[in-house]
Structure 1
Amino acid sequence: MRIAVLHGPNLNLLGERRPEKYGTATLAEISADVDQTAARFGASAVHFQSNHEGALVDWVHAHRNEIEAIVINPAGLTPVAFSLLDAIRDTGHPFAVVHISQWHALDGRERNDIFATSAAVYLTGAGWHGYALAIEALVFRARPQRELGRDVEVDVVRD
């Protein structure tokens, strides 16, 4: 299973930008953790970050036939990136949304996440570890539990 991991605006500055909210792990460190998690489940990850919605859309279009699932942190694009959301939905692949912080509680402003209702998996506030959790959840959704050597039932529930 090949999983795309997409990072939106300002995430290239993780580790430097507001470490009190987003932690001290860099994007490279997070990507390495995601790669290890994916490998543990017999999957692989391909990473892309851009500060521009159009570049993310172009990447999804160019790679849609090379991937089977998507993990995305749309960051500041979260309430407005309808073209990115459409591109992701148009792949037909399951996708997970990851927000490092509590997206709805940031800066005391009301926030709308247009990705939330379409996501197969939605993780917010788990810090950078949310990416690895999203990989695990997508693999669990895609593969029978016996194939993974597990005897557990996994059901992702959305409100």
Structure 2
Amino acid sequence: MTKPVYILNGPNLNLLGQRQPEIYGATTLQDIDTMCRAHAVDLGLPVIFRQSNHEGELVDWIQEARQEAAGIIINAAAYTHTSVAILDALLASDLPVVEVHLSNIHQRDAFRHHSYVSKAAKGMICGFGAQGYTLALDAIHSLIHTPS
């Protein structure tokens, strides 16, 4: 059986659909989870979908993924711009990583333009709202199934 893809979500994403819908849309994180699971079935990928507001918990899950996962999709949210700990964990994972953001971070506040996650990611998908997660699943599927 194929190892799962970990889809990890950072702080405040549990408030999707309620918090700043003009930026993040009306789709909830549960809606995204459901959408990802359906798309993953089509791709033949098992997924583990998680969210935490706590940096250390995200680091723990990334470290867990080192042994348990085929790849990581991560929306680190605000930790994208601040967390060297998440960067270090992603680099240590030695797994393909796809970074995803609902909004286009490059059209927002200047401090959001820098991503620590990007140094560990094969690529970033941003600005496509919830659809970015299914695009990330397509990308990680390709990375997992293409010989390096």
Q: Is the 8 A contact 2:87 2:119 kept in 1?
A: no
2:85 corresponds, among 54, 72, 83, to 83
TM-score by length of 2: 0.91
In the other structure, the counterpart of 1:38 is: 40
1:58 corresponds, among 57, 60, 68, to 60
In the other structure, the counterpart of 1:153 is: none
- 3-state secondary structure, aligned to 2:92: helix
1:131 corresponds, among 130, 133, 144, to 133
Offset at residue 90 of structure 1 (A): 0.9
In 1, the alpha carbon distance for the partners of 2:58 and 2:120 equals 18
Deviation string, structure 1 residues 19-55 (Cα, Å, up to 9, x no partner):
1110111101101111111110110110111111111
In 2, the alpha carbon distance for the partners of 1:114 and 1:58 equals 17
1:16 corresponds, among 14, 18, 33, to 18
Offset at residue 109 of structure 1 (A): 2.6
**Amino acid aligned to 1:41:** L
Q: Which has the larger radius of gyration?
A: 1
Offset at residue 121 of structure 1 (A): 2.2
Q: Is the 8 A contact 1:16 1:24 kept in 2?
A: yes
2:114 corresponds, among 112, 115, 120, to 112
Q: Is the 8 A contact 1:6 1:47 kept in 2?
A: yes
In 1, the alpha carbon distance for the partners of 2:64 and 2:126 equals 28
TM-score by length of 1: 0.85
In 2, the alpha carbon distance for the partners of 1:113 and 1:63 equals 21
In 1, the alpha carbon distance for the partners of 2:115 and 2:143 equals 22
In 1, the alpha carbon distance for the partners of 2:90 and 2:45 equals 20
In 2, the alpha carbon distance for the partners of 1:138 and 1:63 equals 14
Q: Is the 8 A contact 1:121 1:138 kept in 2?
A: no
Instruction: Report the more deviating stretch, 76-85 or 59-68.
Output: 59-68
Report the aligned-residue RMSD. Answer: 1.5
Offset at residue 112 of structure 1 (A): 0.9
Residue segments in structure 2 that go unaligned for 5+ positions in a row: none
- Aligned-residue identity in percent: 36
